[in-house]
C-alpha cells in the first residue's frame, strides 16, 4: 500500500464555505469520478495520473465567485519528482511556491470582468510508491469578479515561469455547463466560454 506524504510550505488551504463551496465540490466530484469521501484517494489520483509536461487547471464559476485549481507535475516546475535531498532543492521548492502564491497571480482574467484574488494557497505534495516517487504542486486561487459576464479570456505567465510545462488541460464548470480546453505553451491567452446564461 502506498504512503502519501505532504510537504506543506506556505499558507494552508482554507475550508470552502457557503453555496459556492458546495457547487464547486459537488460538480468537481461528479464530473471526474472522485471519491469525495477520501482525501487520500484524491491525492492518489492527482499524483498517479499525472503526465510530464501536462498540468490541469480546473475553473468553477458561480455568480461572481470564481475558483481556479491547478495541479502540475513537480518535474515541470522544479525539474525533479523526489523529496528534496539538499538545500538547493529545498530552495527550488520554496521559490516555486513563492511564484505560485504571488499576489498578482499567474492567470489573468479579462480586465473588463474586474476580478480580484481573495485567497491563494500552494502545496508541494509527494507520493512514495513501491517503485517510484511522484510529486506535484497543487494551487488554489479564489477570486471575486464584479462583472463575470465579461470574463471572456484568460492570460497566463505560467509557461514563461515554468518552461518545462508544455500544456494545460483546462476544465471549466459554470451555470452554462461544462467545457474543456487544451492550452498549449505557445498560447499566452485562451478564449473562455460564456459563463452566465
Rounded average pLDDT per 10-residue block, the chain, 197 residues: 37 33 41 40 44 91 96 96 94 97 92 96 83 84 95 96 96 92 96 77
At 20 the pLDDT is 36
Domain spans in the chain, listed from the N-terminal domain onward: 3-191
At 103 the pLDDT is 84
At 50 the pLDDT is 56
Chain centre to alpha carbon of residue 19: 21
Query: pTM, whole model, 2 decimals?
Result: 0.74
At 132 the pLDDT is 64
- The 8 Å CB, 24+ separation contacts for 74-79 are 74/124, 74/134, 74/135, 74/136, 74/137, 75/164, 76/52, 76/162, 76/164, 76/165, 76/166, 77/137, 77/162, 77/164, 77/165, 79/164
Amino acid at each position: 500500500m502506498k504512503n502519501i506524504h505532504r510537504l506543506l510550505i506556505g499558507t494552508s488551504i482554507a475550508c470552502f464555505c457557503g453555496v459556492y463551496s458546495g457547487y464547486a465540490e459537488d460538480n468537481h466530484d461528479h464530473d471526474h469520478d472522485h471519491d469525495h469521501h477520501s482525501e487520500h484517494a484524491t491525492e492518489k489520483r492527482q499524483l498517479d495520473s499525472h503526465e510530464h509536461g501536462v498540468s490541469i487547471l480546473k475553473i468553477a464559476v458561480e455568480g461572481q465567485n470564481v475558483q481556479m485549481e491547478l495541479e502540475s507535475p513537480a518535474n515541470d516546475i522544479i525539474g525533479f519528482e523526489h523529496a528534496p535531498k539538499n538545500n538547493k532543492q529545498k530552495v527550488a521548492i520554496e521559490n516555486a511556491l513563492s511564484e505560485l502564491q504571488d499576489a498578482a497571480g499567474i492567470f489573468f482574467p479579462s480586465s473588463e470582468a474586474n476580478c480580484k484574488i481573495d485567497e491563494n494557497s500552494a502545496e508541494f505534495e509527494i507520493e512514495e510508491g513501491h517503485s517510484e516517487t511522484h510529486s506535484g504542486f497543487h494551487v488554489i486561487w479564489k477570486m471575486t469578479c464584479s462583472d463575470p459576464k465579461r470574463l471572456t479570456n484568460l492570460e497566463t505567465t505560467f509557461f514563461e515561469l515554468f518552461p518545462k510545462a508544455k500544456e494545460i488541460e483546462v476544465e471549466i464548470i459554470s451555470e452554462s455547463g461544462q467545457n474543456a480546453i487544451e492550452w498549449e505553451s505557445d498560447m499566452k491567452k485562451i478564449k473562455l466560454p460564456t459563463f452566465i446564461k
